[in-house]
Amino acid sequence: MAKENNPRGLYVKVKKKRGLKASSRRWIERQLNDPYVRQAKADGYRSRAAYKLIEIDDRYKLLKPGQRIVDLGAAPGGWCQVAVERTGSTSDDIRVVGIDYLEVGPVAGAEILLMDFLDADAPDRLIETLGGPPDIVLSDMAAPTIGHRQTDHLRTMHLVEVATDFAIRTLVPGGHFLCKTFQGGTERDLLDLLKQNFKTIHHVKPPASRDGSVELYLLAKDFKGRKARPSQGGDEAGDPDDAEAGPLG
């Protein structure tokens, strides 16, 4: 968890300035007063989002030395940094490959593809660059919002579905899939698909998620392999409605 760098508890306020929108001023104030933002700068991470992966990994022990990792929606690179640290990926033995249509500055020990994951040749490029099937597929992708709630929901869920398809088609048996979704936004068909292909499913909201944020992470553990078929017996993953949805304790 991020450390508090403001021991006196002082709240930094941004003065109103001509030409500075109120929404922009509130965003700047939030950044200045966010302990995760300050800690990310101190620790050398590209963004506060790095701590989301750190907290999830500390709880579920996903990342291990020598694993191959794919990071979908890698910008600005914080998750790649964490993955490199925890897998021991180096420039001589790349174990972490990210992809984003936004330009990402170089991350030592990782290869980042500047392309849209929705491009038809993106999956093959990822596997080719990684040098083999991934042990873990990470996705922090979210569609840019346009302000229309239903449209925004559909666009983001499409990314979740595409990431899920990629994970099921490429993961090694026993691999894991971690994907950002939103509270109330995980479709039943998607959960059923994950339950067919993974042994356990968890909903996780790490402490580093902002207060009031509706983001939620879907963690599918222990991929059964591409020969898996829907179970005719009991439900291995349990009822998704009973999956963990609270902060990591």
* Catalytic residue IDs: 180
CB atoms within 10 A of CB 35: 16
Strand 110-114 versus strand 69-72 pairing type: unpaired
CA distance 7 to 27: 22
58 annotated to bind ligand:
no
Instruction: For tokens 């109330």, name the residue.
Output: 184
Report the alpha-carbon distance of residue 232 to residue 222 in Å, rounded.
19
- Is residue 57 a known part of a binding site? no
77 is in an annotated binding site: yes
Q: E strands along the chain, which residues?
A: 69-72, 96-100, 110-114, 136-139, 176-182, 198-204, 215-223
Q: Which residues are annotated as a binding site for S-adenosyl-L-methionine?
A: 77, 79, 100, 116, 140
Specify binding-site residues: 77, 79, 100, 116, 140
